[in-house]
Every structure is written in C-alpha cells, then in structure tokens.
A and B are shown apart, each in its own frame.
Chain A
C-alpha cells in the first residue's frame, strides 16, 4: 500500500526548498490574525518559542503546561549546548556539513528536506538568542566560544557553561512572558491536556484537567500545537523529569494522528549509574565532558573485579593496563563518537566483565586534562557538572574518575508530521521532541535544543499561516458543541474508571514493572525473542493496571496520584507500540540495535533495501495498529555504513 499522506516536501534543489516554500506559503493579514486562536501545549524550548513568536505575529495564543511555571519545562535540564553552522572557528563548517552530519548521525532514517532546513535556520537561532540577552560563553576577544560534540569533527556547539538548556529556555520564557504581559498569550499553568477535540476532521480544541482544583476544562482554537516532549519515562528510569509524559500525543494518536518510528529511542552514554531499587530517576552528565574526559575500563578482568570489590582504586591501575576502548575502536572520533555508538561500546565492555562500580559502569577520567589545562579551566568549563556529580555520588571527580553508564535520554520517534510540522490531522501540529521529524534513528548531541527552537521560532510561525489562511472564515467555536461534550465525557469516564478500581498496587510500583520490561527487552540491545516476550508481557501489565491500580484521594482536588496513573496507562500502551515497531524493523540503525543485525566487528548493520522508510502507525480501536510506510528518498547524500573509525 502506498503511503496515504503527503509529506509536502517542496520541489527543487535541497538548498532552495525552504526559500521557495516561504515565498509561496499563504499569508494571514494582521487584521485576520486577531480573529484566529492557537493552542500551544507545552512550554519547553519548542512550545515557549512558538507561543511567543505566534503571539508577536498577532494571533491569540493560549499556552498550557503541567508545571507551576513555563520556566520549569524539562528543556531546562539540557546541559551541553546548541549546534549551529556559523563556522566562527573557521574549521570548515557549513550548512551542508551540519545537514550531512545530522543525516549520517541519524543513520539515514530522516528526511533530507527537513534536516536541510534545520541546518539552514540554525544560525538564526544563535542570533536570536544573543539578542535576547542569553549569556553564552565568550572568548577574551568578546566573541562567542564553541566546543565539540559527538558525531562532528568541527566545533559548532554554542554553550552557556553546563546550563545551556536553562539559559535558552529562560530566553524563550522571557519572550513568552513579554507576550503574556502584552495580552497576546494567555497562560494556563498546572494543566494536563487529556483529550483532543475534533470537529469536521480538524483539530479544534483540547480538554484539560486543572491540576489544582481537579476541574475538567474545555478550550477551543483554530489550531492545536503539541510541544509536549519525549517519552523516555516509558522506561521508568530515565533522564527525563518526573512529570514528562506522552499523554497529549497519545490521545492525539488515539484520535487518528500517526505515531512514527516509536522504536527510535536514545540511550545516552554518560549518565550517573543506577545505585538501588528505590531510585527514581537518572542524571545525565553532559556529553561535552567527552571533550576533555577519557573513557576507560581496566584491560584485565581481575583488575575490574578488584575495583568492584573496592580492594584497589582506579589510581592503582597503570596507564598500560587501561583500555581506552573508544579511542582504540574509533581512532578518528575517539571519545566523541555519537551517542548510540558510545553507549553500545560501554555495554559491550561491561557485558564482557570489564565494568567497574556495580559492574555496570565505566570510568570518565579527567586526570590528563586537569594536568594539561589546570583545575581552573576545567572548573570554568564543567564546574556545575562536577558539583552535581559529587552531590549525587559523594565522590570528588577532580581527584577520582567519574563513573558513568548509559541511560534512556531522548526519543527520536514521535507524532508523524509533514514538512509543515502538521500531523495528518488538519490543524494539529507537533513540534520539538514530540514529533519524529529530524533526527532519524539517532540524535546528535546539542541538536535537540537546535530543533526545538528552529521549530518554534523559525518554522511553525511560517507554516501555520499556510493552514490558517483558509480558516479565516471559520468562526470561533463555543465549548458547548457536541464534540466538546463528547471529548469531556470520554475523559471523565476514563478518570472515574481509574478511581473506581481501588486495587492494591500503587502507580509507581506498576510503573517500575513497565520500566523493567522495557529496559530488559526493548532496551539497548533488542532481539526477536525478547521483543516477542515484551509483546506478551505488556498486555498482561495493561490488564493488571485496569484490575489492580490504587489511587487514593478524589478527582476534585490536587491529586498527584491520579495525574501519574493517567500518564502510566498511556505509557503502557505506547510501550507495546514501541516493541511492535522494534520487532518489525529487522535491521539495526542508530539507537535501534537488533542483535541479529550487526557487522563482524559489532557495528549496527542497516538493511536499506527493506527499511529505508518511516514506520508510521495508525491507531485502530478494533484491530492491532496498522503500519503505514513513508519511503525516504535520498537525492543529496549517498547511503553508507556509518564509520567513525
């Protein structure tokens, strides 16, 4: 079956597509913009930048977030930096090179047109952020400083110490706050979006729960933008915030929006290792640390064992007995190989018995850089990260190497969108991490911030007009229409059903079970038997939820347990879709590693003949989800095995 939706990639040479699109897109006059309402759900980098930019243009915007303030969205936790093709260091960067690195980094599973546009607008983002007063790192000459990130041989990453996400988000939050002050954006904090309202096949509103009062609320608009982030918490333990969830996107999926490439999940190589059963989240140590830190494990298994038993310390291992395995296996990129490659290499060493700490950890060592650059320089570059590490582990990374291990971090899959960032539901947009668009099967470091802000500042404000131009005659809907009644009733019925179970297991307990199944069978290495096992276990877990979940309190008050329960059941359903997608994609690519498909030296082996497509899943109430394939066409780049040696 051919793919029934149009990705709307503009015709013409790659470098001209976006210019051509902007020249031809329909416009909405200022007088008409005032008559159009847009809902933006989520206030991270994508959501806040979109809401602010759309407000500036004159639309009426309503912005929603589950946090108490838009400034707390999880983009804030991004540490290392943001990429752009400025070529300020004069090291050979260009828009084409950033485009190429991103396509290759994503293991050739993203659209050329989208990725080229991302690289094209990357430079404007840096200009915008500087104009907003974001204190990027600078050199003594007063100009912007750059550093390197994985998967690139140029230094194109702009940063603000180890708090780049925080600073960029606060910039977007400032722009959003300004629009709130001017009255073009109305803010709704502490709200969960629980349903999508459709009218005549178009997205026309949302149903939210006021988390303080428990009230079910209705909001109407001419377009709905989802900027709700990724689904890493399907694994329970991840670097995501505790509240990060898939519910808005999942409800949209249940209303007909396609969910693309759910099995493309990213395991980040440098996180603080798991320390116990009671653990609630994992903390990332920025990839930027790999600029100056060297990753190693002992060469001898007996040394590793002594280290695990704490009979010796890492300082007791002489240089010749250390295996700097990334430098050994990938001399060209060394410690700065892409995340998927670095994660698998760490797993390989630990599985082979060379792990330290609990056995599931490797060293990230700054000894040499401290000698070469001095403590002051290292402190200036990574001070807050070192402090964060010491708080959590009680160890001082200035004197003993950090211990790190891979952890779930980012999800490349998400709602299917076309070139305009619109899902297959007219009027419903998905921007930032919640869409599947730009990173293929693996995202490169410092590219999430770039994509979130590209979508929000420079892409959606152009593309949404092309849709809304035809909506200027559509009158505002009241929330008393039957479509709102029905959606609100669905949501209330679901919440009541959960409350009435009063079983024995808390939400966290079941969430841990979900996490265990996902990590065990749908984690870093996947195989057919394991995936089939997951597909057996997950429906059982779903039954367990509907039979045995326990939610205290009532619906009509501040009740964090009911929030978590609703998010969990959507995660369980999504988990099943991830496993299904991973089973069908019988190739290894990027973060999706099928153990059956590897080269003789353990690298991911793609199957371009059968899998050069986007797997877009369509919900079906009666049957299993339906797989639709959007073929990926490559004109500018040649498909090759990714080599970082």
Chain B
C-alpha cells in the first residue's frame, strides 16, 4: 500500500505546530498502524529528519498509552479498539490519512502527537481507590458479591485511561473516565462504603483540572476503545446529587 500522511508536528509545548505531509510506500496490510509509523520514522531518520514522536508501549491494546486522532476520530475508524490494535487492512491503497494529537485544554501537547495526561492521574489521586492499607483485611470470601454486580463492576473497570473520551467530546469532558471508576467501586460492597466521599472528591478534581461538562452527545461511548457505557455517567450523577443532599443534611 502507498499512503499520504498528514501529520501534526510540534517541536515542544510552546511551539505553534502545524501539519506536514509525508509519503510512505510498500506498507503491508497486515502491519499495524504503528508499524506503518515505524516505517515512516525509519525513512525520516535515514533522510536526516526528526522522527515523529508518538506515545505507545504495550502495543496490545491494554496499557492505554497510545492516543492519536486519525481522520478525525480517536483511535481511528474502527470501534472498540486502540490505535495500536488498528491494522492497515482497515485502509486502502492511495488513502490520505490525517494524524493529530488529542485536543483538550487539560491535555497539553508535549511534542508532535504526544500529550500530557497527568490530569487523569490527579483525578484518581483525589479518590479513585478504596482507602485500605496493606494487611489487616478479612478473608477474600468473607463478603459474597452478586455475580451481576461483579460483572458490571468489571465492565466499568476495563477503562484503560487513554483519554479518547475527552478527545472525542466537544466539551473535553472527562465524565466517562471518572464515572467508570466511581461505578466500578459502587457496584462492590468493598467500594460502596466510600462512594459519597469519592464522587465529591473526584468530580471536584475533574472540574478544577479544566475538563468540561457532559452534554449527552454520546461521542465518548462511541469512541471508547473498551466500550465503557455512558450509563456510568448517570450512576455518577445520581450519586453526586445524593452526596450533595446528604452533605447538606449532615452539615
């Protein structure tokens, strides 16, 4: 396959950046999207040009490192996969492919296609866990959990924290990401204990970090590589409201 690539190049956080055009030839349809970019980078290095910087690590769709806005869609044209799982057989010979970084105020560009998603870590630090120390815990089977709840919890826990939800949202909202973590714990007795505190802390952090609000466009759900359900946002909103009422009562 021969392809034309239109790639966002930006030297560093302060550089203005812009789109440059590249050609790659002889790409195998069996290669992955990143193997195609590897080819381009080899070409650039050999031609004494700087290779394109992009984030990637596990290359099997689980670490959440990879990003890339491909032809206007996070993780490219296929549903339910990450960029590293995208293979060139999803494109045709002669195609022009636009490749850009995630765009969101809370995700500043570091270089080329790499953005800083440290804001996601900060949201988790605010409360995305069960507050137990190591040791001194009951037997794992002491508290039975209905299978249904365990499965729903696992559905939400599948989030890889890649940020596609933010990138796809017109408001750059992180609500799918945040609600998935809240739902994972709310479905389990071990996590439910702290739901009230957790939802308040995480929503507050999310707002403070510059993520927008949800306006029910469903783009996040459509673009999520792990197909996390938007129903989690409803669960989060319900708990947030409840927390407010309870806090007023208690306060």
B222 — which chain A residues lie within 8 A by C-beta?
none
Q: Which residue of A lies closest to B37 (CB)?
A: A280
Q: Which residue of B lies closest to A54 (CB)?
A: B134
Is A86 at the interface (CB under 8 A from chain B)? yes
Q: Are B147 and A140 in contact, CB atoms less than 8 angstroms apart?
A: yes
In the complex, number of A-B residue pairs with CB atoms less than 8 Å apart: 216
CB-contact partner of A392 in B87, B114, B160, under 8 A: B87
Q: Are B124 and A177 in contact, CB atoms less than 8 angstroms apart?
A: yes
A281 shortest CB reach to chain B, Å: 5
A484 — which chain B residues lie within 8 A by C-beta?
none
**C-beta contact mask, B12-46 vs A, less than 8 Å → 1, else 0?**
10000000000000001011101100110010111
Is A13 at the interface (CB under 8 A from chain B)? no
A543 — which chain B residues lie within 8 A by C-beta?
none
Interface residues of B, dominant DSSP: loop
| CA distance in complex: A458, B160 (Å) | 27
Interface residues of B in 32-68 (CB under 8 A from A): 32, 34-35, 38-39, 42, 44-46, 48-51, 53, 55-65
Q: Are A68 and B129 in contact, CB atoms less than 8 angstroms apart?
A: no
Is B118 at the interface (CB under 8 A from chain A)? yes
Q: Which residue of A lies closest to B186 (CB)?
A: A133
| CA distance in complex: A135, B151 (Å) | 7
Q: Are A77 and B60 in contact, CB atoms less than 8 angstroms apart?
A: yes
**C-beta contact mask, B129-168 vs A, less than 8 Å → 1, else 0?**
1111111011111011111001101100110110000000
A71 shortest CB reach to chain B, Å: 6
Q: Are A558 and B12 in contact, CB atoms less than 8 angstroms apart?
A: yes
Is A136 at the interface (CB under 8 A from chain B)? yes
- Tell which of A161, A241, A458, A550 has the most Cβ of chain B within 10 Å: A241
A276 — which chain B residues lie within 8 A by C-beta?
28, 30-31
A161 — which chain B residues lie within 8 A by C-beta?
154
| CA distance in complex: A425, B184 (Å) | 42
**C-beta contact mask, A138-159 vs B, less than 8 Å → 1, else 0?**
1111111000000000000000
A56 — which chain B residues lie within 8 A by C-beta?
133-134
B109 shortest CB reach to chain A, Å: 11
A353 shortest CB reach to chain B, Å: 24
A283 — which chain B residues lie within 8 A by C-beta?
59-60
Contact A181 to B45, CB < 8 A, known contacts A68-B116, A276-B30: no
CB-contact partner of A181 in B11, B59, B125, under 8 A: B125
| CA distance in complex: A187, B62 (Å) | 22
CB-contact partner of B125 in A139, A180, A239, A387, under 8 A: A180
A163 — which chain B residues lie within 8 A by C-beta?
62, 158
| CA distance in complex: A178, B145 (Å) | 25
Q: Are B58 and A74 in contact, CB atoms less than 8 angstroms apart?
A: yes
Contact A144 to B140, CB < 8 A, known contacts A177-B128, A276-B31: yes
Q: Are A167 and B157 in contact, CB atoms less than 8 angstroms apart?
A: yes
A49 — which chain B residues lie within 8 A by C-beta?
134
B126 — which chain A residues lie within 8 A by C-beta?
181
Q: Are A135 and B137 in contact, CB atoms less than 8 angstroms apart?
A: no
Contact A77 to B63, CB < 8 A, known contacts A56-B133, A135-B154, A552-B45: yes
Is B219 at the interface (CB under 8 A from chain A)? no
| CA distance in complex: A245, B190 (Å) | 36
B63 shortest CB reach to chain A, Å: 4
A70 — which chain B residues lie within 8 A by C-beta?
121
Is B102 at the interface (CB under 8 A from chain A)? no
Contact A178 to B62, CB < 8 A, known contacts A131-B138, A189-B118: no
Q: Are A388 and B45 in contact, CB atoms less than 8 angstroms apart?
A: no
B147 — which chain A residues lie within 8 A by C-beta?
138-140, 142
Q: Are A391 and B85 in contact, CB atoms less than 8 angstroms apart?
A: yes
| CA distance in complex: A471, B187 (Å) | 45
Q: Are A133 and B150 in contact, CB atoms less than 8 angstroms apart?
A: no
Is B103 at the interface (CB under 8 A from chain A)? no
| CA distance in complex: A280, B56 (Å) | 12
Is B117 at the interface (CB under 8 A from chain A)? yes
Is A72 at the interface (CB under 8 A from chain B)? yes
B11 — which chain A residues lie within 8 A by C-beta?
557
Q: Which residue of B lies closest to A130 (CB)?
A: B140
Is A173 at the interface (CB under 8 A from chain B)? yes
Q: Are A560 and B140 in contact, CB atoms less than 8 angstroms apart?
A: no
A181 — which chain B residues lie within 8 A by C-beta?
125-127
B65 — which chain A residues lie within 8 A by C-beta?
67-68, 72
Q: Are A126 and B184 in contact, CB atoms less than 8 angstroms apart?
A: no
| CA distance in complex: A136, B39 (Å) | 40
Chain A interface residue count, CB cutoff 8 Å, equals 82
Q: Which residue of A lies closest to B153 (CB)?
A: A135
Is A60 at the interface (CB under 8 A from chain B)? no
B46 — which chain A residues lie within 8 A by C-beta?
506
| CA distance in complex: A398, B146 (Å) | 29
Q: Are B150 and A137 in contact, CB atoms less than 8 angstroms apart?
A: yes
A392 — which chain B residues lie within 8 A by C-beta?
32, 85, 87
CB-contact partner of B64 in A71, A140, A144, A553, under 8 A: A71
B185 — which chain A residues lie within 8 A by C-beta?
133
Is B9 at the interface (CB under 8 A from chain A)? no
Q: Which residue of A lies closest to B34 (CB)?
A: A280
Q: Are B130 and A131 in contact, CB atoms less than 8 angstroms apart?
A: yes
Q: Are B139 and A127 in contact, CB atoms less than 8 angstroms apart?
A: yes
Q: Are A177 and B110 in contact, CB atoms less than 8 angstroms apart?
A: no
Contact A76 to B62, CB < 8 A, known contacts A160-B154, A280-B35, A560-B53: yes
Contact A131 to B28, CB < 8 A, known contacts A76-B62, A189-B118: no
Is A170 at the interface (CB under 8 A from chain B)? yes
Contact A135 to B157, CB < 8 A, known contacts A68-B117, A178-B131: yes
New contact pairs (14) apart from A175-B132, A391-B87, CB-CB < 8 Å: A69-B120, A69-B161, A72-B58, A77-B60, A127-B139, A130-B190, A131-B132, A133-B130, A142-B146, A280-B35, A391-B85, A457-B135, A509-B42, A552-B45
Q: 9 closest pairs, A vs B, by CB?
A: A142-B144, A174-B129, A135-B153, A133-B191, A135-B154, A131-B137, A130-B140, A53-B134, A181-B125
B contact residues vs A (CB 8 Å cutoff) = 11-12, 28, 30-32, 34-35, 38-39, 42, 44-46, 48-51, 53, 55-65, 80-81, 85, 87, 89, 110-111, 114, 116-118, 120-121, 124-135, 137-141, 143-147, 150-151, 153-154, 157-158, 160-161, 184-185, 187-188, 190-191
19 contacts between A and B (CB under 8 A): A52-B134, A71-B121, A73-B63, A76-B58, A126-B140, A133-B129, A133-B130, A135-B154, A174-B124, A174-B129, A174-B130, A181-B127, A241-B59, A461-B134, A552-B50, A553-B50, A557-B11, A558-B53, A560-B53
